[in-house]
Structure 1
Amino acid sequence: MDAALADDLPDGLVVAGPDARVQLVNAGAERMTGCSREELLGRDVREALPLQDTTGRDWWATTDPWSGLAIRTGHRERMLVRPGGRELLVTARYARPGRGAPVSRVVLQLRDTEARRRFENDHAGLISTVAHELRSPLTTVKGFTSTVLKKWDRLSDEQKRYMLSTVEADADRVTRLITELLDISRMDAGRLEVRRQLVDLEALLRLQVERMVAAGEEEGRFLVHVRGPLPEVWADPDRLEQILSNLVGNAVRHGEGAVDLSVRPDPDGDGVVVLVEDEGEGIPEEHLGMVFTKFWRGNRRGGTGLGLYVVRGLVEAHDGRIAVSRSPAGGARFRIALPSGVPDALREG
């Protein structure tokens, strides 16, 4: 990036090369670190910018971009501390020429105390959301299990079945929430792992339909299309199932009419494109840019607002891209682009 262009960025930017030496520093980074460009350029970034986490540990030794796990691509925004106690929110990106290849560039984005306040508000919002989302199912579980234990002989089989099925559904809801929280923690720390293997995308799409039908949805509501011969895709089947389950579930709950699931070769690359589309009102134009942010719920009530944030993180962990727009039928259209071929790390192994 041109240094003059980098100076126009509102955040601090520091770029280090494959030898860990600083290659670029913008004006924002000078302001936030208190170091001039001349003091930083050409130096080992680990010495020029000593950073610690909030527990006092050396952050560079912990994250180790150049010698650590080859699957890591960086981490999302987190609080780090400079000598003297100055706090910064740092986002790191580890650029690699290929999946599993050595790091060619480390890009650090720095934010100031205003971003810290947003970070703290997010943290408080997360605690409030989790507390609210846990209270409702746990209250139901407690009430129904207590009733079944105390009145077993007076309840009909139909009443027992209803109560136990409700308890099971709420237990699943709590499990999904915990899974989301664990995934967010791993994504924010840059430690989300995907276990790649050859996957059958058509089978994964049809599995989503089977599960929705088993849950009571009409089979005729779902359309599955495979357009053209597909290249090989290596991905984590459990993570892909998590992505598709979230998107298809949203389409069923918030859309109307048919839900169209399709997969085809990517016309803009060597991979594949998966589309999940529904009918109905869709997402307002002014909200499209916020869909994948934490706590976004649109005009809906209930839910954590974390599902699509996790979906984006899981797609990006596969070196993929996800976007949202309006479908031709008027509803929401989610487009996932995934790379094809055997990952470099697996090929070398």
Structure 2
Amino acid sequence: MDIAAGAGQLDLHQDDLPDGLVVADRLGLVCCFNAEAARLTGRPPAAALGRPIGSVLPLEDPDGRPWWCVTSPYRGLATRSGQPERNLLLPGGREVLVCARYVRDHPGGPVRRLVVTLRGTDARQRSERSEAELIATVAHELRSPLTSVKGFTATLLDKWDRFTDEQKRLMMQTVDGDADRITRLITELLDVSRIDSGRLELRRQLVRLDEAIRRHVKTLVNGGYQAERFEVRIDEQFPGLWADPDKIDQVLGNLLENAVRHGEGTVTIEMHRVPPSRTRQEGTAVTVSDEGPGIPEEAMHRVFTRFWRGSDRGGTGLGLYIVKGIVEAHGGTVTVGRSAGGGARFRFILPAGTPAFLA
């Protein structure tokens, strides 16, 4: 059986379809059983063709009722056009997503052809596991700062007069820091949602990337890291970059925080111009590298996926996924490799862009 893609276009064979396809004639005998249907059911096409569809696909609903007895396509209501996709069970308990269409010569007439599509539930299960992992990660990351906030505020409300002004200030600073952690987590979750749905909005303006790099390094030094741990290499004056300044700050913040948290030794930040070529316009490249243990070769392809963590030092595992989404939304690229000192090396390239480019 060939399924035409359209008049004058290339024909697709039934075995080219990504879903299982089973077709029965007006007598309920199987006349089509493609390769994916054979894989999902474990039944070869030769053992299906010419046999009643109820015996070829002995489907049951989650309550254990035979699906064909419940739906009765050939003897049921003549106004029905099919069955919506639902989760059913094959012998042995394997779950499949099943959808049926009833083909009639005219409305109200007998079923001339029964078309059934089958899909495995692996992709849906992976999605459900990913969502469950996201919920667990969020719950874990929220528990610590919320516990701290609740503890300090309850203590202050209950015993306000017992503390000195300095003690109150210290507790309020801790609460403020924990509130910032919660805000960052919520921002990450919103960004993941927007990246997944293709709705990440960019508010581009002129950004001085060299100044942004120096500002982030200064923030880390003010936060307690030694200035000697950072080496910034920017050899020339760079023109402004047309980009979203807040999103670029997220990229730089994530990469530098990863380097100081998971890496060791000197963190080197390099910035240089990328000349135009036949495949890309002029751009700016930023490299962040450290001298730590680096990332195992077999794990590098997973670095920019959700929940990947380079160590057990905390974090949601969403930072690098967001970095990739932001850089690609700007039309750039980001890669990971090994630095000269043996540690991790992250490099992203952003196109220079112009106001006209944004139109």
TM-score when normalising by structure 1: 0.68
Describe the shift of the 1:27–1:312 C-alpha distance in structure 2 as closer, same or farther (beyond 3 A). farther
- 2:148 equivalent to 1:146: no
Q: Relative to structure 2, which stretch is displaced further, 142-151 or 26-35?
A: 26-35
The residue type equivalent to 2:19 in the other structure is M
Query: Secondary structure, in 3 states, of the residue corresponding to 2:269?
Result: strand
SS of equivalent to 1:138 = helix
Q: What is the alpha-carbon distance in structure 1 between the residues aligned to residue 342 and residue 217 of structure 2?
A: 21
SS at match of 2:17: helix
Deviations 1:117-158 (A, max 9, x none): 111100111111111111111011000111122222222344
Q: How does 1:275-314 map to 2 (within 5 A)?
A: 275-314=287-326
TM-fit CA distance, 1:162: 2.6
| Aligned AA (1:150) | D
Matches within 5 A, 1:229-268: 229-230=237-238, 232-266=240-274
Identity of aligned residues (%): 55
After superposition, what is the alpha-carbon deviation per residue over 1:282-331, rounded to whole angstroms, capped at 9, x for unaligned? 22222211111111113324221111111111111101111111111121
1:138-184 Cα deviation digits (max 9, x unpaired): 01100011112222222234432332222111111110100010011
Q: Which amino acid aligns with 1:192?
A: L
Q: Does 1:332 align with 2:344?
A: yes
Pairs within 5 Å for 1:19-168:
30-32=17-19, 34=21, 84-85=84-85, 113-168=121-176
**Two-structure CA RMSD over aligned residues (Å):** 3.2
* Native 8 Å contact 2:289 2:345 kept in 1: yes
Task: Write the distance in 2 (CA, Å) between the matches of 1:26 and 1:275.
Answer: 48
Where 2:250 maps in the other structure, the secondary structure is helix
Q: How far apart in 1 are the matches of 2:315 and 2:169?
A: 26
Question: Is residue 231–residue 341 contact of structure 1 (8 Å, CA) maintained in 2?
Answer: no
CA distance in structure 2 between the aligned counterparts of 1:31 and 1:144, rounded to whole angstroms: 56
Q: Alpha carbons of 1:291 and 1:28: their partners in 2 closer, same or farther (altered >3 Å)?
A: farther
> Matched residues in 2 for 1:245 and 1:223: separation?
16
> Relative to 1, partners in 2 of residues 1:24 and 1:123: Cα closer, same or farther, differing over 3 Å?
farther
State the shift of 1:272 in Å. Answer: 1.1
Question: What are structure 1's unaligned runs of at least 5 residues?
Answer: 1-14, 16-21, 36-82, 89-110
- Equivalent in the alignment of 1:92: none
Pair 204,34 (structure 1): closer, same or farther in 2 beyond 3 Å: farther
Q: Contact between 1:248 and 1:276, CA under 8 Å: does it hold in 2?
A: yes
Distance 1:301 1:255, change over 3 A: closer
> Aligned pair in 2 of structure 1 residues 330, 24: CA closer, same or farther (>3 Å)?
farther
Shift of the 264–164 alpha-carbon distance from structure 1 to 2, 3 Å rule, reads same
Structure 2: how far apart are the matches of 1:230 and 1:331?
Answer: 27
Do the aligned partners of residues 321 and 26 (structure 1) sit closer, same or farther apart at CA in structure 2, a change above 3 Å counting? Answer: farther
- Match of 2:84, as an amino acid? G
Give the match for residue 7 of structure 1. none
Contact 2:292 2:342 survives alignment (8 Å):
yes
Choose 1 or 2 for highest CA Rg: 2
d(CA) in 2 for partners of 1:325, 1:339: 21
Cα distance in 2 for residues equivalent to 1:299 and 1:157:
39
Which letter does structure 1 place at the counterpart of 2:291?
E
* Alpha-carbon distance between aligned partners in 1 of 2:341 and 2:303, rounded to the nearest angstrom: 19
Q: Is the 8 A contact 1:296 1:305 kept in 2?
A: yes
Q: SS in structure 2 opposite 1:85?
A: strand
8 Å contact kept, 1:231–1:271: no
Give, in whole Å, the separation in 1 of the partners of 2:11 and 2:208.
43
d(CA) in 2 for partners of 1:219, 1:190: 39
Equivalent pairs, count: 263
Partner AA of 1:262 in structure 2? E
Look up the SS of the partner of 2:347 in the other structure: strand
Residue 188 of structure 1 is matched in structure 2 by 196
Q: Which secondary structure state, in structure 2, belongs to the residue aligned with residue 176 of structure 1?
A: helix
C-alpha distance in 1, partners of 2:206/2:227? 28
| Greater displacement, 133-142 / 223-232 | 223-232
Alpha-carbon displacement from aligned partner over 1:171-217 (angstroms, at most 9, x marks no partner): 11110100010011111111111111121110010110121122122
Distance 1:338 1:112, change over 3 A: farther
Cα distance in 1 between the residues matched to 2:11 and 2:304: 30
Which amino acid letter does the alignment assign opposite residue 190 of structure 1?
G
* Secondary structure of 1:256's aligned partner: coil
